[in-house]
Amino acid sequence: GFATLPDLIRAHARERGSSTAIADPQGSIDYATLDRTMDRVAAALQRDGIAAGQAIAIVAAPSTSYLSVFLGAVRAGCVATPIAPSAIPSAIAAMIADSGAPIVVLDEPMAQALADERVTARILLLSDADLPPEGPSGDAELLEHWLAPDGARPTPVAIAPGDAFNIIYSSGTTGTPKGIVQSHAMRWAHIARNSAAGFDTAVTMIATPLYSNTTLVSVLPTLGWGGSVVLMGKFDARGYLTLAERYRATHTMLVPVQYQRIMALPDFDAFDLSAFRFKTSTSAPFSAALKADVVARWPGLLVEFYGMTEGGASCALNATAHPTKLHSVGQPMPGHEIRLIDDDGVEVPPGEMGEVVGRSPAMMNGYHGRSAATRDAEWHDAEGNRYIRHGDVGRFDEDGFLILMDRKKDLIISGGFNIYPSDLEAVLGQHPDVADCAVIGMPSESWGETPVAVIVPRSPEANPADILAWTNAQLGKTQRLSGIHPTSELPRSAIGKVLKRELRDRLTGTPA
């Protein structure tokens, strides 16, 4: 039959029940405990008549209980629906309602934050610390009281590969959050593709939120293969290294801005990171210089993934093995197929730039309750095969490595010329006074749009006018920046993506 991730966890509980499954800042649980808690969650859902296929929402900081509820819901055939606690309360309430979840699990700060919102689901609290006097938690119950008794066994549920495993809401970097439905088969593909990654003996350090696919593609394979997950909670570079050293971490998934902060620590080389074997990154552009620095100074392989929550296709770059390809995101993974198309949906000639479309064994079922949006996200080849549009623009080099440019929505069209912000960001990033930068298109009367840079200067002495002149001297005539704005920090999402929409809003009304 078809073994689900909860089935794999059951097997680990039998074979290595006392080995650590998940650790968080409060403590850790072994595989036997994880498996028993998942049973208690699944049995409670069945007791309450919650049918397979229904969403169970979770809005909380990462913890062992969070993952136990998530996986227990999946064991009952329900659809785990982790939601970003960092979203604004009204948006969180809207996502809970959109998912149709009859139950939402909240931690204490989240219960406080949602006090003034209408929450459509029954509320379960992860802890009883200082219950707020009013608000939705007034009639909330404690998860601990709701769980079926220890030793309870849920009725086994028949699960098919195409059944929904979880819903992840898109981050909304480019629009309203949509619920991306991921199947058991898709999760299985993520586990299977890591068969050579040594996750069976892994200690995987996680410092990103659990509602993000970026995190789950590392957490779920670790548990699928029987390794240990260490959840660090709120990230800071020195805290991360201290914890990694203490746990003798072997695997990790970090987003580029986290690598950047860690490598910038003056005493980085003083930490003992010799246990590391496999480091990954995904979700945002990772500069070649930073990849080279990580490869040179941090033990273990560095592999960058490019992909999206919706699936489509993923690329992988083994940065350690391909020092001359660090400007790329690597090659499509086995069984993954990428094509590049133009504005009319026609494939571009080899070597040319186009929008990425992809297909693989790991594709979303669709957007929850949004068939029109799902259709818009698809592309079909001549044989009628279904691809997912990634919304990114890139080109393949002569060796088949994908060089990613920008999100299609971020391209700047100025006086009829296409400007790729990433080209300009690459030049700016080489200036010694620029610590971080982003280029966006601003409305212009003469050109339609014009490129403007927002930079984080390395020191207060940095002179924007000099940086502008230096940069423009290296750019083609049609690419030149019309302004540079210094700022103390670029706005980023909780998983480190630069929020260009927010930057644009910030600059509106500011003369370039």
Q: Find the residue with minimal CB distance to ligand ATP.
A: 170
The smaller minimum CB distance to ligand ATP, of residues 75 and 497, is found at 497
* Sequence letter at residue 125: L
Q: Is 422 in the site for ligand ATP (CB under 6 A)?
A: no
Pick out residues in 232-261 that bind ligand ATP (CB under 6 A): none
Q: How far is CA 157 from CA 75, 103, 150, 456, in A?
A: 8, 19, 20, 53
Shortest Å distance, C-beta 330 to ligand ATP: 8
Q: Rounded to the nearest 5°, which phi and psi values hold at 338?
A: -120, 135
**CB crowding 463-486: b at 16 or more within 10 Å, else e:** eeeebbebbbeebeeebbbebbeb
Tell me the two tokens of residue 431. 């200036």
The Cα 110–Cα 97 span in angstroms is: 16
Query: Which of 55, 96, 148, 329 is the binder for ligand ATP (CB under 6 A)?
Result: 329
Q: Is 265 in the site for ligand ATP (CB under 6 A)?
A: no
| Neighbouring residues of 203: CB distance < 8 A, sequence distance ≥ 6 | 227, 228, 230, 247, 248, 249, 250, 251, 275
Shortest Å distance, C-beta 176 to ligand ATP: 8
Q: Is 283 in the site for ligand ATP (CB under 6 A)?
A: yes
Please report, in angstroms and rounded to a whole number, the separation of the first and last CA atoms in the chain. Answer: 62
The smaller minimum CB distance to ligand ATP, of residues 9 and 498, is found at 498
Query: Which of 75, 279, 336, 497 is the binder for ligand ATP (CB under 6 A)?
Result: 497
Q: Are 334 and 361 in contact (CB under 8 A)?
A: no
The smaller minimum CB distance to ligand ATP, of residues 255 and 468, is found at 255
Mark 146-175 with x for binding to ligand ATP (rule: CB under 6 A) and - for no binding.
------------------------xxxxx-
Q: Is 284 in the site for ligand ATP (CB under 6 A)?
A: yes
Q: Is 404 in the site for ligand ATP (CB under 6 A)?
A: yes
Q: Is 289 in the site for ligand ATP (CB under 6 A)?
A: no
The Cα 388–Cα 392 span in angstroms is: 11
Q: Is 282 in the site for ligand ATP (CB under 6 A)?
A: yes
Q: How far is CA 147 from CA 75, 141, 194, 202, 285, in A?
A: 14, 11, 33, 30, 42
Shortest Å distance, C-beta 181 to ligand ATP: 13
The Cα 474–Cα 469 span in angstroms is: 9
**CB crowding 185-201: b at 16 or more within 10 Å, else e:** bbbbbbbebbeebebee
Shortest Å distance, C-beta 65 to ligand ATP: 25
Shortest Å distance, C-beta 391 to ligand ATP: 6
The smaller minimum CB distance to ligand ATP, of residues 307 and 451, is found at 307
Query: Which of 94, 123, 295, 308 is the binder for ligand ATP (CB under 6 A)?
Result: 308
The smaller minimum CB distance to ligand ATP, of residues 163 and 310, is found at 310
Pick out residues in 4-43 that bind ligand ATP (CB under 6 A): none
Q: Are 437 and 410 in contact (CB under 8 A)?
A: no
The smaller minimum CB distance to ligand ATP, of residues 187 and 390, is found at 390
Pick out residues in 198-217 that bind ligand ATP (CB under 6 A): 213
Q: Which of 60, 51, 56, 50 is nearest to 70 (CA)?
A: 56
Query: Which of 17, 89, 239, 285 is the binder for ligand ATP (CB under 6 A)?
Result: 285
Question: Token pair 């909780």 is at which residue?
Answer: 494
Shortest Å distance, C-beta 125 to ligand ATP: 28
Q: Rounded to the nearest 5°, which phi and psi values hold at 505?
A: -60, -40
Which residues contact ligand ATP by CB under 6 A? 170-174, 213, 282-286, 304, 306-309, 329, 390-392, 404, 407, 497
